[in-house]
Amino acid sequence: MPVASNLGFPRIGPNRELKRALEEHWAGRASAAELASVASAIRRANWQLQARIGIEHIPSNDFSLYDHVLDTAVMLGAIPSRFARRTELTDVQRYFAMARGLADGTTTIHAMEMTKWFDTNYHYIVPELEPGEEFHLASAKPVDEFLEAKTLGILTRPVVLGPLSFLLLGKTRGASAPPLALLDALLPVYEQVLARLDAAGAAWVQLDEPCLVLDLPRETRRAYHAAYERLSAAGPRVLVATCFGDLRANLPTALGLPVAALHLDLVRGQAQLGSALARVPRTLALSLGVIDGRNVWRADLDAALELVMQATRALGPDRVMIAPSCSLLHVPVDLDSETMLDEEVREWLAFGVQKLHEVVTLSTAVRDGQAAVAQEFASARHALERRRASARTHLPAVQARLHAVTDDMLQRAPYGERRMQQARVLDLPTLPTTTIGSFPQTAELRRARSAVRAGRITPAEYDAFVRAQIEDAIHFQENVGLDVLVHGEFERNDMVEFFAERLTGFAFTQHGWVQSYGSRCVKPPIILGDVARVRPMTVAYTVFAQSLTHRPVKGMLTGPVTMLQWSFVRDDQPREETCRQLALAIRDETVDLEAAGIGVIQIDEPAIREGLPLRVDDRSAYLQWAVNAFRLASSGVRDETQVHTHMCYSAFDDIIDAVRRMDADVLSIETSRSDMVLLETFAHVDYPNGVGPGVYDVHSPAVPAVADIEALLHKALAVLSPDQLWVNPDCGLKTRRWEEVRPAMAAMVAAAARVRASLQPAS
């Protein structure tokens, strides 16, 4: 009979227990043993929950204290030398130093690079690999966690990032050799891991190979087959798991791997099922990802069952597994925790726990007949019908406005003309300094926000508190010497949720947290209907901040593509249409900010690279509508109004033409973790607009030295002209403490002043 299977479960705990334990440990208030105890409790609860639901293949080693790719690098002994040589560090201290950097009062070690996990909002730590890297089994975490579950009477299916995806996602420093040149050195360690799992009693192991949904050259496809020839003989039966799209040209390679099972994402790649069934070997089982592991909508069980039955008729029930499309890492834990959610909306949704119930429902329908779960199917049908018919999903006025958009609404004067007008109005120095927007969200600020929501203080009292925070931030920025200031975003809980709460078409959760990286969790809003702005969202606080200073204050907005990417998006209309609705709402806000006297407006688009389709052939259409959405949002203002945008943790070499077409007056990007390597893209293109490469890593507690920032600025000047270069951190400062921000800002301003002085001609 079909196996009810899961590929991975959220790690953070139902109430973000992991986040709190990590932050207590990093602050020195909890020991490594106390952190390990919390982690063990989360794992135990996850395994027992899935067993109660009826999942038969329960994953283990899907848990991580920070990131599963970092875990894999540690397991393989791929530890960069700057961390390995610090022999006084414990294993736990070294692990977190790799993820977050290290500052011990005398030396500063920068963290490993971090970037987006495929086209999701999860961030992974990029493996740093050296030519001739010598791998060895340095951690038995997959075996340890399998045995941990086994003591509870639960036989799990250990999950390990596959060897080829590990190498393809890594970065080989200082060498022209491709990452796969290290494959032969890597495979013996994987063989050791599989042998140990086999000896421990594991019947199956799941090797995740998400890179199989990318465009792969022929030699890489050959490497897949050669690698799995070795690994299939090393221990338990192997399930190779793919996700985030269909396999296309890689399908024959995947089906030809000498493994026991192959997982297919049939939410994003439904069309591949027919091709797979036509050529699947008799020895291969298929895992069918028919429940969406990346969005929160309740499944169409009838449509999912039809896919399952199509496979069952072709293969027989014993060669079919039923699963989510990918790990449930990307969705909230449990809808039952949402006690205040609108009942109409609740009926439309499924979080991680509910998605596993859907998997078990489908498995039961195949095993015992659909009549055995008739009520579950009827409930799903009813929810879908009510959602389609709801008046909350479509607003005629929004649709009419979309149809009235013209090409002229996407245009501003050429950048050269705008630049001259902006220089005259703003009168900024060479290498102007600024921040990305947010300042620390202190415990006092979070308490005030909680108090106003609970009714313990009045809205007027909260407003006075926020204004006092803004006033302090403006005075700090003036005193430290920044050139373009920000109001600090103290009123904002999240850069997407804040705006979503002020637009039509959104729903919100209390506990719908999803891990972004490490202890960083986000609570994506849910786009369920047409989007429009009701009233100004940011004008009052931005104008107040500007009234406190003669220096320009940036209006801070989140862009339409990022609003789209960092929300759970409606699936009943094209994403492009939803994005254009968001763009019109942001456009209205830019016009109002300008009318109120704000001369610099930043429209953040950190997710525009994240939304890029994984396949090259699919990218041009996406980039066309994504760029047009940004231009629609930003082109309603006059030419003398300076428009900034911010992108972080993105490689730009494959989208630089699109970035240029966005035509922001100033682009700020993350570059410090890569030591300005990401900036090299701009050396090979004609990019005249302003660029602010981040000069220090805000995700590390380390305070940068003036000399280090100065060195990075000189590297940037090897690529950019002085009249292009802006000086700013990598990202917003909301997660940092003021004790870190104050000296870091002072160092940044001092470094900019030194470099600025060095550019002056000798007298």
Amino acid at residue number 305: L
- Per DSSP, the three-state class of 632 is helix
List the one residue out of 413, 394, 321, 417 whose CA is nearest residue 362: 321
Under 8 Å between Cβ of 575 and 612: no
Amino acid at residue number 680: E
List the one residue out of 53, 120, 126, 25 whose CA is nearest residue 514: 120
- DSSP run (H or E) holding 240: strand 237-241
List the one residue out of 624, 626, 633, 621 whose CA is nearest residue 608: 626
Within 8 A by CB and 6+ apart from 215, the residues are 249, 615, 616
> Three-state secondary structure along 412-463?
CCCHHHHHHHHHHHHCCCCCCECCCCECCCCHHHHHHHHHHHHCCCCHHHHH
Please indicate whether residue 699 is annotated as part of the active site. yes
CA pair distance 728, 649, nearest whole angstrom? 15
Write out the E strands in 523-599.
526-527, 554-558
Under 8 Å between Cβ of 537 and 603: no
Catalytic residue, candidates 136, 511, 699, 714: 699
Helix/strand/coil percent split, the chain, to 5: 45, 15, 40
CA 288 to chain centre: 25
Say which residue the tokens 């990318």 belong to.
214
Amino acid at residue number 368: D
Within 8 A by CB and 6+ apart from 532, the residues are 395, 397, 398, 401, 503, 504, 505, 581, 584, 585
Q: Which whole-number Å values give the CA distances from 462 to 343, 508, 548, in the listed order?
A: 30, 22, 19
* 721 DSSP assignment: -
Amino acid at residue number 652: F
Q: ∠ at Cα 116 (114, 120), nearest 5°? A: 155
Q: What's the Rg (C-alpha) of the chain?
A: 26
Under 8 Å between Cβ of 727 and 432: yes
CA pair distance 724, 508, nearest whole angstrom? 40
CA pair distance 40, 63, nearest whole angstrom? 10
CA pair distance 337, 698, nearest whole angstrom? 33
Write down how long the chain is: 763
Say which residue the tokens 């736990």 belong to.
92
Within 8 A by CB and 6+ apart from 290, the residues are 266, 267, 299, 304, 307, 308, 322, 323, 325, 362
CA pair distance 370, 366, nearest whole angstrom? 7
CA 70 to chain centre: 16
CA 270 to chain centre: 24
- Both tokens assigned to 496: 């997407």
CA pair distance 589, 701, nearest whole angstrom? 34
Beta bridge partners of 465: none
Q: Which residues are catalytic?
A: 699
